[in-house]
Amino acid sequence: MKQYFPSVSAVKYEGPQSRNPLAFKRYNAAEKVAGKTMREHLRFSVAYWHTMKGTGSDPFGAATLPRGWNRAADPMQQAEDTLRAAFEFFTKLGVDYYCFHDRDIAPEGESLRESNARLDRMVSLAKKLQADTGVGLLWNTANLFSHPRYANGAATNPDAAVFAHAASQVKKMLEVGLELGATNYVFWGGREGYDTLLNTDLKRELDHLAAFLRMAVDYAKKIGFKAQFLIEPKPKEPTKHQYDFDAGTVIGFLKSYGLDGHFKLNIENNHATLAAHTFQHDLTVASAHGMLGSVDANQGDLLLGWDTDQFPTDLYGTAYAMLVILGQGGLAPGGLNFDAKVRRASVDPEDLFIAHIGAMDAFAHGLKVAARLIDDGVLRDFLERRYASYDAGIGAAIEAGKADFAALEAHALEHGEPEPRSGKQEMLENIVNQYLLGMQ
């Protein structure tokens, strides 16, 4: 069979001192950490849109990335070549999952009918390749933002005909997810938002969005597709304001419309930081509500105001993320999907491998750091002591809903000024650095 990455063999673990850019230094799939293998913990996934379909174009320039699989003149041949190249990439890299949009794997046709037919053809190939390789579908989703018809939104479009078109695409993709055994299904509202309130009925659009999601829930139930539904927050870009701004906003929206039982969140680092939050914050908010379902593992540039979708190599970021993830007992059926792209000047096809390897190593290290921090209990013990006043007495009464303002005033009058206690932020940050560098 034709190879698209002939110069790259299956990537191996060679350890921290290896100078081979095409080897893992930290990620050792079978190594056990905190009772499970790294592979089981991390559940890595490749993002089809960036890795297979990304061209390196940006608003100021054309495609830069030469790819062996996008040369065929016939779009369906190109789609098939791309899918085969993808599975070669997945297996050489050694990841267990991938994710895609409908339009990533099959080009849109002249009509919805033709688009669906093309999709069917590619899905059937994907099913075969999944079976051949053991690589599974972490999640699929519909692209409701690229086509001009979605310029004013999909489920929140002022035109009901566009809503209907979007519904058709999602209907189809729920069927595809069922067919391919996807364990999750993602909704990212890329154009669900507004550019100016002058032309927008925000309330009516939110109602439509909720109606859309409700129909998706109903349809999945109807066909027996049991994947976890996920909403992926993002505050802006492409629209000026996106309705799914951040974890807190999405949770509020779901609760307002009684949909919170049906959805969890897919948190992306770069989306969190565009919303002026840390990655860890949005993970924590989602997790605190029992709604952290999956993660788009990338990182942004905090000095830039757009989604740079860089590969996650910041070791603080991966360690803090794994603290939250281990803290809730893991992500399954979700996983860590690399919604990340190589820089447009990284024109060597092997840069795709190098970039994923660096990210996988960074998460492997983050996993170990987090596991050690948890195992040693340093942070947990500190927190327990810090909040201990709520474990008994007036604090316990507050938590039990048995205190009222009168009782609390009496307590305050009796006990006088509370004792100041240090928050110890610097000490805790120093400890994190020690663990990051390998404290045993």
- Contact window for a copy of itself (CB under 8 A) among 29-37, 118-126, 241-249, 330-338: 241-249
* CB of 342 closer than 8 Å to CB of 359: no
Query: Could you confirm whether 375 is annotated as catalytic?
Result: no
Phi-psi region of 15 (alpha: psi -120 to 50; beta: other; left: phi over 0): left
Query: Could you confirm whether 104 is annotated as catalytic?
Result: yes
x/- letters, 293..312, toward a copy of itself (CB under 8 A): --------xxxxxx----x-
Regarding 5 and contact with a copy of itself (CB under 8 A), the answer is: no
| Closest separation in Å from C-beta 129 to a copy of itself | 26
Q: How far apart are the C-alpha atoms of 16 and 23, rounded to whole Å?
A: 10
Which CB, 76 or 379, lies closer to a copy of itself? 379
Residues 6+ apart with CB under 8 A from 178: 223, 224, 225, 227
DSSP 3-state assignment of 349?
coil
Regarding 60 and contact with a copy of itself (CB under 8 A), the answer is: yes
Outline where 106-233 has alpha helix (H).
Answer: 112-133, 160-180, 202-223
DSSP 3-state assignment of 118?
helix
Residues 409 to 438 in contact with a copy of itself, rule: CB under 8 A = 409, 411-413, 415-430, 432-434, 436-438
Which CB, 26 or 53, lies closer to a copy of itself? 26
Which CB, 39 or 236, lies closer to a copy of itself? 236
- Contact window for a copy of itself (CB under 8 A) among 33-41, 72-80, 195-203, 329-337: 195-203
- Contact window for a copy of itself (CB under 8 A) among 38-46, 85-93, 127-135, 139-147: 139-147
Regarding 85 and contact with a copy of itself (CB under 8 A), the answer is: no
Q: What is the DSSP string of 38-88?
A: HHHHH-EEEEHHHHTT----BTTB------GGG--SSHHHHHHHHHHHHHH
Regarding 117 and contact with a copy of itself (CB under 8 A), the answer is: no
Give the binding-site size for a copy of itself (rule: CB under 8 A).
160
Q: Which of 146, 179, 330, 333 binds a copy of itself (CB under 8 A)?
A: 146
DSSP 3-state assignment of 184?
strand
Q: Which of the residues are catalytic?
A: 101, 104
